[in-house]
Amino acid sequence: MHSLISVKVMRIFMGESARFQGKLLHEVIVETARQRGMAGATVCRGFMGFGANSLIHTAKILRLSEDLPVVVEIVDRPDRIDAFLPVADSMVDEGSIVVSEAQAVFHLPLRIRDVMTEDVAIVSPSTPLAKVVELLLQRKVKAVPVLEGKTIRGIITGGDLLSRGGMPLSLDAQCSLPAAMRDEHVRCLDFRNLVAGDIMTSPVQTLNIKTKVCDAVQLMAKGDMKRLPVVADDGTLMGIVSRADVLRAIGHASVVAGHLDVLPDTARGTAADVMFRDVPTAEPDTALPAILDQILASPLRRVVIVDEDMKVMGLVHDRDILNDFARKNAPGVLKNLIAALSRKEGAEPDIQGAARDVMTTDSITIHPEMPLTEVIRTLTERKVKRILVVDGDGRLLGMVDRDTVLKCLAG
């Protein structure tokens, strides 16, 4: 038998002709709830009722022109209803909002249309590559579909820019540079008059808007794909979905669902089941050139700083070293450092300092017995790709990687 969980029910009463900013109010509320990731919303149209003005509204044949009552009902976790209440209240000019506590079992469809990003940056095959990079950095996104008319011709990702566009740094690293230095660096990039069509991945794998999230997990893990365009039945671009979006949906479902049969069976694991145990480590006094060598040699792109008892003291990411030299305004060293981070042959930056000078000390840590669903929520809510796993005394045991979690969910 499925267990009940505590929820709140929000009912918003209004007339069916009520409007907000020129649009039907009930439609605006439902769309806003969907955009905010609420579990669901239902609109009910009454055939008779009256409100504060005491006028009877009825659907009798002679009174069809009357403003019939409408109720929007939303059920979700108590904290999410509480957060949505002021949003709904700001829209309702005449009507009432009732919130009550209840118990429920959720059966969630978990389809891509519910988790995708609809506001998609797009380019054409003839868009200059410099403009593509500028758009990616301005929008802080990692991929853009390439459209010719309404037809998707391909997609450009950060990987395409590194492998075929000649860009020396990842988009993450580019974004970590100070704005002025980032703009200067982008202007200096030699894209050899390349356009989007020259480096895009084509043909591109897409997801139908009705695809189940669990099926998307399988496809993305099998093809090692981080982002996929979402299309309607006729091929029209509807949005884009990332691995982070998929994991966020699974994390949300694990909370609001009273059961887990909407999730992959592999979601019942723990952090210990998916963690890397071979993690690069160093001491606080380790010289930065040695730290940089470890970073470049590891796919994790991080070095954990520990004391002699393996207790975690901090973390050094390639961006930490880059940011440190950017702050010091050392353009010559920074240029060599960028070359080293992009693995250019013969690049040996003359960098000074030790790990303690650049390490981040507020590392996110979890315990090995943490359920995988909680691991997923931690990754998505904290917006990180990797988390350290420690024992009860804070000693390093391993690291959980977001991509590995997705592949575990896919079996």
Condensed to tens digits (0 to 9), the pLDDT of residues 54-110 reads 455 555 544 444 578 899 999 988 888 998 999 999 999 988 999 999 988 766 567
Q: Average of pLDDT values for 224-239?
A: 88
Q: Residue 158 above 90 pLDDT? A: no
Q: Which residue has the higher pLDDT, 168 or 319?
A: 319
pLDDT (0 to 100) of residue 354: 92
pLDDT (0 to 100) of residue 2: 55
Q: Which long-range contacts (CB under 8 A, 24 or more apart) does 46-51 make?
A: 46/70, 46/71, 51/13, 51/15, 51/94, 51/95, 51/96
The radius of gyration of the chain from alpha carbons, rounded to an integer in Å, stands at 26
Q: pTM of this prediction?
A: 0.65
pLDDT (0 to 100) of residue 247: 85
pLDDT (0 to 100) of residue 369: 95
Q: Residue 348 above 70 pLDDT? A: no
d(CA 376, CA 359): 25
pLDDT (0 to 100) of residue 271: 92
Helix axis angle for 318-327 and 288-297, nearest 10°, is 140
Q: Residue 285 above 90 pLDDT? A: yes
Least confident of 56-65, 101-110, 188-197, 308-317: 56-65
pLDDT (0 to 100) of residue 346: 60
Of the pLDDT bands very low, low, confident and very high (cuts 50, 70, 90), residue 329 is low
Question: Is there a contact between 350 and 333 (Cβ–Cβ < 8 Å)?
Answer: yes
d(CA 117, CA 97): 29
Percentage, residues of the chain above pLDDT 90: 36
Mean model confidence pLDDT for the chain: 83
Of the pLDDT bands very low, low, confident and very high (cuts 50, 70, 90), residue 34 is confident
Neighbours of 192 (CB within 10 A): 9
Question: Is there a contact between 219 and 205 (Cβ–Cβ < 8 Å)?
Answer: yes
Name every residue whose Cβ is closer than 8 Å to that of residue 321 and which is 6 or more positions away in sequence.
288, 291, 292, 295, 337, 351, 358
Q: What is the pLDDT of residues 98-155, one digit of tens each?
A: 999 998 876 656 778 778 888 899 999 999 998 998 899 888 888 999 999 888 999 9
Using left for φ > 0, alpha for ψ between -120 and 50, and beta otherwise, residue 310 falls in: left
Q: Residue 189 above 60 pLDDT? A: yes
pLDDT (0 to 100) of residue 125: 95
